[in-house]
């Protein structure tokens, strides 16, 4: 158990970061902190993928010196997944930020709970 953890310390760190991000996104009431939590969570997943996709001593699969052996290269798909994931998380963060701006202009606060209580008072 301990030895495994030491050998896979990158994945362990990714999991801890994922937990931190998840907790922030769930529990913080400040919208900006929530978005930061979202980004930590997503980045932790990319760290996990990158860590899993890299094998020590191998390089990205771009043939330069005519080395064709698969032993020399890493699998490019995890990196591709990371890129796709980054695109998704950028667009989602942008959407969240734009919602935050809307809410701030209306209520002059970033606290989601306070916005909710004010909405209840308004009654609409």
Partner 1 sequence: MDFVQNFPAISILLCLFAGIISSGLKSKAAKYVNTALIIVVAVLSACTLFYVLNTGEAFVYVMGKFPAPWGNEIRAGVLEAFMALFFCIIMLLSMFGGRKKLVDEVEESKTFLYYVLTNLLLSSLLALVYTNDLFTAYVFVEINTISACGLIMIRQNGRTIEAAARYMIMSLLGSGLLLMGICMLYDLTGHLLMSNIKEQVTIIASSGEYGIPLLVTIALMSVGLAIKSALFPFHAWLPDAYGYSTVSSAAILSSLVSKGYIFLLIKIIYRVIGFDIFGASEIIDVLFIFGLMGMIFGSLSAIKENDVRRMIAFSSVAQIGYIYMGIGMGTQDGMAASVFHILSHAATKSLLFIAAIGLTDVSAGSRKFIDLTGAAYRNKWAGVAFTVGSLSMVGVPLFSGFISKLLFAQAAVQVNGKMLPALIVLGISTILNAIYFMKTVIRIYTPIETDQYSSITFKNMKLYAVTLVCFIVLNVILGVSSQPIVDLIGQGLAMFS
Q: How far is the CB of 105 from partner 1 (least distance, A)?
A: 10
Q: Report d(CA 45, CA 47) in Å as an integer.
A: 5
Nearer to partner 1, 62 or 107 (CB): 107
Query: Which residues, in sequence order, are CB contacts of 14 under 8 Å at separation 6+?
Result: 44, 45, 47, 48, 51
Q: How far is the CB of 95 from partner 1 (least distance, A)?
A: 6
Instruction: Report yes or no: 44 and 14 within 8 Å, Cβ to Cβ.
Output: yes
Residue 123 carries which DSSP code? -
Q: How far is the CB of 89 from partner 1 (least distance, A)?
A: 9
In this structure, what token pair is assigned to residue 76?
Answer: 């490019």
Nearer to partner 1, 66 or 123 (CB): 123
Q: What are phi and psi of 24, to 5 degrees?
A: -65, -45
Q: Report d(CA 82, CA 124) in Å as an integer.
A: 43
Nearer to partner 1, 23 or 65 (CB): 23
Q: Which residues bind partner 1 (CB under 8 A)?
A: 18, 21-22, 25-26, 31, 34, 38, 41-42, 45, 48-49, 52, 77-78, 81, 84-85, 88, 91-92, 95-96, 99-100, 102-103, 106-107, 112, 115-116, 119, 122, 124
Nearer to partner 1, 1 or 65 (CB): 1
């Amino acid at each position: 158990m301990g030895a495994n953890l030491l050998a896979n310390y990158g994945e362990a760190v990714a999991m801890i970061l994922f937990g931190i991000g998840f907790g922030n996104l769930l529990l913080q009431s400040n919208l900006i902190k929530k978005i930061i939590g979202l980004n930590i969570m997503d980045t932790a997943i990319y760290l996990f993928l990158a860590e899993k996709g890299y094998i020590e001593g191998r390089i990205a699969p771009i043939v330069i010196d005519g080395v064709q052996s698969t032993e020399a290269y890493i699998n490019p798909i995890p990196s591709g997944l990371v890129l796709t994931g980054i695109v998704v998380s950028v667009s989602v963060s942008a959407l969240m930020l734009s919602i935050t701006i809307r809410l701030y202009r209306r209520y002059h606060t970033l606290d989601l709970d306070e916005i909710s209580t004010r909405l209840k008072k308004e009654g609409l």
